[in-house]
Structures are given as C-alpha cells and as structure tokens.
Amino acid sequence: IYRIPLMLHEHGLDDIVCDKLRLEAEPADLSEWVKVLDAKLNPLKSVSIAMVGKYMELLDAYKSLNEALIHAGIQGRIKVNVDYIDSEDIERHGTER
C-alpha cells in the first residue's frame, strides 16, 4: 500500500485529477514519501513487541495501535514484529512461556 502513491504519480494520475478538476498545482514532490517507503522496505534493525489484549482473535480491535507501532518503526527504520498474547492465557498460565 505504501507504493501506491508513487505508482499513481508514475502513471500521471495526479496530473489527470488536477486537470479534470481544473486545479492548478505545483509538480508533485514525492521525495519525502520515497524516504518513507525506503525506510519501510529496508529497515536497519527489528524489534519484537508483545501486545497483550482481551480480544486478540479480533485484531481489527487493535488496528490503530498496530498501525501506530508500524509507523513508529518506519520513523526509526525499524521493522516491528508484534507478538499477540491473549490476556486470558496469562491469567490461566502466567507469564512464563
């Protein structure tokens, strides 16, 4: 999904939309977006984070948190690996794995 803005620009869709809507716009500068994409695709290191929650089978309930972790990782050129843990498992078995 992070490549889509570049693909649309490469095919001139941004110019087409501006023409159709009769908008005047400066040429698109996607250099910062290219840096974001490079950081996402080529992280320098990785980190694992355990996310404990009550509804881990419904990961959409944690979508915004997941995205925030991913975006924070991109900022630091870090791949974030999330290990999802159901809080009921901890209640039953403790924290040892």
The Cα-based distances of 66 to 20, 50, 54, 56 in angstroms read 37, 11, 15, 12
In the numeric block, which tokens belong to residue 38?
């490079």
First-to-final CA distance of the chain: 35
Strand partners, 47: 80
| Domain ranges for the chain | 1-42, 43-97
Instruction: Name residues of the chain where pLDDT drops below 50.
Output: none
What pLDDT is recorded for position 39?
97
Residue type, 79: K
Quick count: other Cβ atoms within 10 Å of Cβ 74?
Answer: 20
pLDDT in tens, 57-76: 777 888 899 999 999 999 99
